[in-house]
Amino acid sequence: MTYEETITRLKEMESRYQDGFSSLDRSLLDSLYFNIFGREITNRGCSDCYRDAYMEILIYLKRNKAMPKKSDFVLKAGAIITFFGEPKCYSNANITDEAALRFLALNPANEKLFEHLPEGWKFRLPKSDVPEAEDKDAVIARLTKENEQLMKENEQLRSENADLKTPAPRKKGKKKSEPEAAPAPAVEASADKPSTEIVPEVEAAEVEVSENADPSGADEVSIEEPEDAPDQE
């Protein structure tokens, strides 16, 4: 069916939207929904599910103004491709060139899921978000350069750390003069206790008098010799 034929048929089904679609209407909606969205209607026994599918199909066709384009890529029988985080899945019924190329760009090994690939498909691949593998020599050169840069930064940090550890010279300040010790209080001689300073003077005086005394004036001591005992006859 062409785009115009499909729109005409959907408008004709609009009168049965509220009362419920016929079995022929539901069969058409099943086919269109799968071809456009790559999945089946959630519950085929639910009238509301078919109403929702009808609105989704009509909105898609009015927005794109065309039927889904037949892809140049053909998947193998039963093959289905999906993208992480996206609910939509693709099969031969709804596969598009854009979806096929996007899937192949993720990993060239995905080509084993395709029955047919158009000529020159590799030149049509979109640029992958995954960076290309670097050459071995390029990786070694890059890592060597980064290592040298890290060594320079490390050396600079060591130098700065050494400067921080060196103590700054202290400023010489004026030495504070120590306060003079207060003189000891004089000890007054008590009347009851003789002064310790007077006693030495007295002793010195006695010694001086003793030295100056005349030895001739001293009392003479006479020693009497004992009488001889009489001879006994």
Query: What integer pLDDT is reported at residue 145 of this predicted model?
Result: 84
115, 129: one domain: yes
Binned at pLDDT 50, 70 and 90, residue 14 comes out as very high
153-174 pLDDT tens trace: 888 888 877 777 666 566 555 5
Both tokens of 160, joined, read 């700065």
232: in domain = no
**Contact criterion met (CB below 8 Å) for 91 and 75:** yes
- What average pLDDT does this structure show over 189-206? 49
- Note whether 145 and 79 are same-domain residues: yes
- pLDDT at residue 97 tops 90: no
Q: What integer pLDDT is reported at residue 138 of this predicted model?
A: 76
Looking at the structure, do residues 62 and 125 belong to the same domain, yes or no? no
Q: Is residue 34 part of a domain?
A: yes
Decide if 219 is inside a domain.
no
Clarify whether residues 130 and 115 are in a common domain. Answer: yes
Distance of CA 183 to the CA centre of its chain: 70
Beta strands in 122-166 (DSSP E): none
- Tell me the C-alpha distance between 51 and 228, whole Å: 182
Q: Tell me, what's the pLDDT at 184?
A: 57
Q: What are phi and psi of 175, to 5 degrees?
A: -75, 130
Query: Of the candidates 68, 95, 126, which is a domain's last residue?
Result: 68
**pLDDT, position 132:** 52
Q: Which of 24, 44, 68 is the last residue of a domain?
A: 68
User: Is 117 inside any structural domain?
Assistant: yes
Is 134 a domain residue?
A: yes
Share of the chain above pLDDT 90, in %: 17
Token output for 53: 């599918």
Q: Based on the domain organization, do 74 and 37 belong to the same domain?
A: no
pLDDT band at 233 (very low <50, low <70, confident <90, very high): very low
> Is 100 exposed, middle or buried (CB count within 10 Å of its CB: 0-12, 13-18, 19+)?
buried
Quick check: is 51 in a domain? yes
Same domain, 56 and 2: yes
> Is residue 176 in a domain?
no
Instruction: Please indicate, yes or no, whether residues 61 and 118 belong to a single structural domain of this protein.
Output: no
* Number of domains present in the structure of the chain: 2
Among candidates 133, 40, 23, which has minimal Cα distance to 80? 40
- Domain shared by 48 and 14, yes or no: yes
Q: Are residues 87 and 148 in the same domain?
A: yes
Q: Are residues 100 and 45 in the same domain?
A: no
Whether 95 contacts 118, CB under 8 Å: no
Query: CA geometry: angle at 66 spanning 102 and 101, to 5°?
Result: 10
Predicted TM-score (pTM) of this structure: 0.40
Q: pLDDT, tens digit, for every residue of 107-147?
A: 888 989 998 888 888 888 887 544 455 566 777 887 888 88
Asked whether residue 196 is domain-assigned, the answer is no
φ, ψ of residue 75 in degrees (nearest 5): -80, 160
Domain of 31, in residue numbers: 1-68
Domain termination residue (choose one: 152, 177, 212)? 152
